[in-house]
Chains A and B, each alone.
Chain A
Amino acid sequence: MTTDDFSAYVVARGESLVRFAFVLTGDQADAQDIVQDALSRALPRWDRIRAMEDVDAYVRRMVVNAHVSWWRRFRRKEFSVAEVRPTASVRATNPADTVVDAAFDQAVWLACARLGRGQRIAVVLRYYEGLSFKEIGNIMGCAEATARSRVFRGLATLRDLLGAEEAP
C-alpha cells in the first residue's frame, strides 16, 4: 500500500519535481540526481510523509536539502559563465517590449548561475515556486528576514547583470 502510494505520488509529481530541481541547480544531471536522492530518502519514511498536510512542500524541501547537502559534501567549484550582455529585449522592463523570449530566458539563466547558492535557491523558491518569505525561510532553515534579504539581494544582482531598470 505504501509503495503503491509512493509510486503514484512520483508518477504524478515527478516531472514537476525534476523541473523544480532543474531551475534550482541549472543542470540537467544534477536535477535528476537530487530528485532521485530526495525520493530515495522519502521512500523509507513515506508512511509519515504522506500523512502530512502538504506532502509536496515537504518533498520539495527534501529536494532543496539534497541540493544543499550535495553542494556542501562535494564543495562544488563555481564556474564563471560567459559575460551576460544585456540586449535590447533584456533591458526592456515592459513585457510587451520583450520580443525575443529565448534570448531573455538564456540571459536570465546565465545570470542566475552567477548568483550565490543561497540567493539562487531563495530566488527560485520565490519566483518559480511562488512561496512566501516565511515558507522560504522554513525550507532554507533561516529567519524570514534572512529569506527576504536573500531574495532581494538576488533580485538586485539579477537586475544589475541583466541591465534592467531599478524597480520604482
Chain B
Amino acid sequence: MTSFEEQLVRALERKSAEAPPTGQLVEAARMRHRRRRRALLCSGAALAIAVVLVPAGVLANHGLELGPSGGTGPVASSATTTTPSGSHDGPGCAELTGPLPVPATPAPPVPDAAAQHLAINESGTVAAWFNETGRLPELVVFDLTNNEELAREDLGVGEVAPQPSLRILGQALYFRSAEDHDVWVRYAWHHDGYPLVYTICN
C-alpha cells in the first residue's frame, strides 16, 4: 500500500467518526418491516387518493381558520367528520379546524377531501397532513411556497395515533406513534422529496 493509500485509509476512518448516532435501529427496522409488509398486503387495493392542498392564505376563503398553537385537544379522526376544536400542543405549527377544505385553485383531482391533522410550519412554507386512503394512512408533505409536493409516504394501519399531534419543526415533522403514545416518530424530507428519514425519538 502506498503512502497515499495509507493516508486515504486514515482519513476515511477519521471521517467515519462523524457518522450520525445509531438511534434506535432495532425499533426503526421493525417498524419499517411492518410498513413494507402492510404495503405489500394492500398493494392490490385501489387507493382513492384525495389530496387537498390549500395554502393557509386561502383557508379563510372557505371559512376555515388555523387552530392556535400551544393548546391541546382532539383532532378530526375520519375523512368525513369535522372537528371544530382541533388544535395541538406542538410549537411551530397549527392544525386545521373546521370543515375540510375544497380545492380553491387548480390542484390534483380531489374526489373527496380527506386531509386530516393538517399542520403548517411556523413560517407558513410547509404543510403536512394525513390522507385516509383506503386502509392505509398516507402522509403528505407539501411546499407551500413553490406549490409542490415534497414527500408522500404510505404508513401502516395503526401506525398513526388517533391524536398524532402532527407538527413540523425545521426540516422534519413529528407525530405520535400509535403503538406507544409517548413515542414520537420523526420524518425528515430531503431536498429532492425522498427518502423520508424515519427515526423514533422519545
Contacts and interface: CB of A to CB of B under 8 A. Distances in A.
Interface residues of B, number: 40
A14 B22 contact: yes
A22 B16 contact: yes
Tell me the interface secondary structure of chain A in the complex.
helix
Interface centre among A98, A105, A124 (most CB of B within 10 A): A105
B26 A124 contact: no
Interface stretch (B64-72, B119-127, B193-201): B193-201
A168 B9 contact: no
Contacts of A10: 25-26, 29
A80 to B, nearest CB: 15
A139 B26 CA distance: 24
B188 interface: yes
B46 interface: no
A109 B36 CA distance: 34
Given A33-B195, A93-B4, A105 B29 contact: no
B150 to A, nearest CB: 13
A104 B197 contact: no
Contacts of A168: 2
A40 B39 CA distance: 14
B198 to A, nearest CB: 6
A121 interface: no
B20 A32 contact: yes
Contacts of A23: 12, 15-16, 19
Interface stretch (A48-56, A69-77, A141-149): A69-77
B16 A20 contact: yes
Given A20-B16, A39-B25, A128-B12, A33 B7 contact: no
A40 to B, nearest CB: 4
B19 A127 contact: no
Q: Range of interface residues on chain A?
A: 35 or more
B3 A32 contact: no
A79 B110 CA distance: 36
A7 interface: yes
B20 A31 contact: yes
Nearest to A105: B11
Interface in B1-49: 2-23, 25-26, 28-33, 36-37
Given A40-B36, A105-B15, A127-B5, A33 B197 contact: yes
A108 B30 CA distance: 35
A71 to B, nearest CB: 11
B29 A39 contact: yes
A147 B188 CA distance: 34
Interface of B: 2-23, 25-26, 28-33, 36-37, 188, 190, 192, 194-195, 197-199
30 contacts: A15-B19, A15-B22, A19-B17, A20-B16, A21-B19, A22-B18, A22-B20, A23-B15, A31-B19, A32-B199, A33-B195, A35-B22, A35-B25, A36-B25, A36-B28, A39-B28, A39-B32, A40-B30, A40-B33, A41-B36, A44-B37, A93-B3, A98-B7, A108-B15, A109-B15, A127-B9, A155-B4, A155-B5, A155-B8, A167-B5
Given A14-B22, A93-B7, A155-B8, 17 more contacts: A10-B26, A14-B26, A18-B20, A18-B21, A18-B25, A19-B19, A22-B15, A22-B20, A23-B19, A36-B29, A39-B25, A40-B30, A40-B33, A43-B30, A77-B192, A124-B12, A167-B2
